[in-house]
Amino acid sequence: MKTRAAVLHEMELGRPYDRTNPLKIEEVELDPPGFREVVVKIKAAGLCHSDLSVIDGNRPRPLPMALGHEAAGEVVEVGEGVSNLQVGDHVVFAFLPSCGHCPNCQEGRAALCEPGAQANGEGVLLGGHKRIHKGDDYYYHHLGVSGFAEYAVASIDSLVKIDPEIPFDIAALFGCAVMTGVGAVVNTAQLKFGDSVLVVGLGGVGLSAILGAKAAGAKKIIAADLLPSKREAALAMGAHHAIDSSDPKALQELRDLTGGGVDVAVEFAGAVPALDFAFQAAKRGGTAVTAALPHPDARLQLSPVTLVGQEKALRGSYLGSCVPSRDIPAYIELYKTGRLAVDQLISHKMKLEDINLGFERLAAGEAIRQVVLFD
Ligand SMILES: [Zn+2]
Ligand SMILES: [Zn+2]
């Protein structure tokens, strides 16, 4: 079948993206779904900083690639060997497929699925195939999703069936922003009721972490970002204090607010000073978590003696340490009962044609979550 998709042919084209147009909207051919694959009619897809990191070359991927890794839609065709999904089911994409069989999946650590990571690195679906092409030229898949398109072929291990009552624009966000942000706080940092928490980097993921900290019963939520507009958004979503982490007095201010530091500090900014701030802000015995993806050459300097003498922990978090099939429905349930106000994350809704403008807004820090809507 034919579909329109946003395709990246060249990285590092530079800004403004609404002039350089790194993403080309093209008519491409989709192959039929193979074994354990389905066709999803995409209804909504979110613009995430990790897409931007591919566009600007911070996170290089094989090209040409059909971009987009946060999406929701409806199953319209099923391939062979599919028993858990039917035509008409509503689904959210997880940006890492989980095979369910590798040692990490069997330990409940789907975020570390080995065949999933390999497929994502190679830009193919979990079964090893590419299904998008233009003539004889096959395009790479972005994290098993390629959601900036009217239709996508996906492995069933990249999909989670959801409650059909949830609007698609909200549902899409659970696949990356909410899973990563809430999961980092709840799963990776294991925030306890009554803990204090610092969230550094207030994009869609960071603000999701604020919502998650609130839902999990954090006593004090401190939000940090360089941009005043982001700090205001965090306060509106339930943060108790907002600080500028680049201010030399910010660390002392935070320690004064918390009596020495936070129990849990989570960082999503993707800049080494932000992670350094989060690590320093964690109290003695506290935990710092990073879920950001800075350039692979970035290095954090830390004194091992603080790890020892202060028993601090520093942990990485991918996919919010989530098991998508377990956590996405659970987080959606929290949304339904009003305890996770994911709808507040959406700042813009747009058409596929305007996607480069959307990425320019994201790069300029002028948006929280922007969602492409399809008919
Ligand atoms: Zn993302
Ligand atoms: Zn696995």
pLDDT digits (tens, 9 = 90+) for 131-179: 999 999 999 999 999 999 999 999 999 999 999 999 999 999 999 999 9
How far is ligand 1, taken at its centre, from the CA of residue 176, in Å? 5
Domain final residue, candidates 269, 301, 316: 316
So what's the pLDDT on residue 29?
A: 98
Range of the domain at 311: 190-316
Do 25 and 140 belong together in one domain? yes
How far is ligand 2, taken at its centre, from the CA of residue 115, in Å? 6
Identify the CATH number of the domain in which residue 259 sits: 3.40.50.720
How far is ligand 1, taken at its centre, from the CA of residue 144, in Å? 12
3-state secondary structure of 368: coil
Q: What angle do CA 319, 68, 333 make, to 5 degrees?
A: 50
Contact assessment for residue 65 and residue 123, using Cβ atoms and an 8 Å cutoff:
yes
| CA trace torsion 46, 360, 59, 170 (10° rounding) | -10
Do 332 and 194 belong together in one domain? no
Do 231 and 200 belong together in one domain? yes
128 assigned to some structural domain: yes
Do 167 and 225 belong together in one domain? no
- Of the listed ligands, the closest to the CA of 362 is 1
How far is ligand 1, taken at its centre, from the CA of residue 79, in Å? 27
pLDDT (tens digit, 0 to 9) for every residue of the chain, 375 residues total?
A: 999 999 999 999 999 999 999 999 999 999 999 999 999 999 999 999 999 999 999 889 999 999 999 999 999 999 999 999 999 999 999 999 999 999 999 999 999 999 999 999 999 999 999 999 999 999 999 999 999 999 999 999 999 999 999 999 999 999 999 999 999 999 999 999 999 999 999 999 999 999 999 999 999 999 999 999 999 999 999 999 999 999 999 999 999 999 999 999 999 999 999 999 999 999 999 999 999 988 889 999 998 998 999 999 999 999 999 999 999 999 999 999 999 999 999 999 999 999 999 999 999 999 999 999 998
Do 22 and 76 belong together in one domain? yes
Do 75 and 44 belong together in one domain? yes
How far is ligand 1, taken at its centre, from the CA of residue 48, in Å? 5
Do 170 and 202 belong together in one domain? no
CA–CA separation, 62 vs 19, rounded Å?
23
Identify the CATH number of the domain in which residue 163 sits: 3.90.180.10
Residues facing 316 on adjacent strands:
290
Kindly state the DSSP code that residue 78 receives in the 8-state scheme: E
How far is ligand 1, taken at its centre, from the CA of residue 257, in Å? 31
Do 94 and 32 belong together in one domain? yes
How far is ligand 1, taken at its centre, from the CA of residue 300, in Å? 23
Contacts of the segment 308-314: beta carbons below 8 A, 24+ positions apart: 310/284, 310/285, 311/284, 311/285, 312/279, 312/282, 312/284, 312/285, 312/286, 312/287, 312/288, 313/286, 313/287, 313/288, 314/279, 314/287, 314/288, 314/289, 314/290
How far is ligand 2, taken at its centre, from the CA of residue 121, in Å? 14
How far is ligand 2, taken at its centre, from the CA of residue 111, in Å? 8
H or E element: which one contains 232? helix 228-236
Do 164 and 41 belong together in one domain? yes
How far is ligand 1, taken at its centre, from the CA of residue 306, in Å? 32
Tell me which residue of 83, 112, 81, 80 sits closest to 96, measured CA to CA. Answer: 112
How far is ligand 1, taken at its centre, from the CA of residue 319, in Å? 9
How far is ligand 2, taken at its centre, from the CA of residue 249, in Å? 45
Q: What angle do CA 230, 235, 241 make, to 5 degrees?
A: 105
Give me the number of domains the chain comprises: 2
Do 44 and 91 belong together in one domain? yes
184 assigned to some structural domain: no
Answering whether pTM is above 0.85, one says yes
How far is ligand 2, taken at its centre, from the CA of residue 85, in Å? 19
- Of the listed ligands, the closest to the CA of 111 is 2
60 assigned to some structural domain: yes
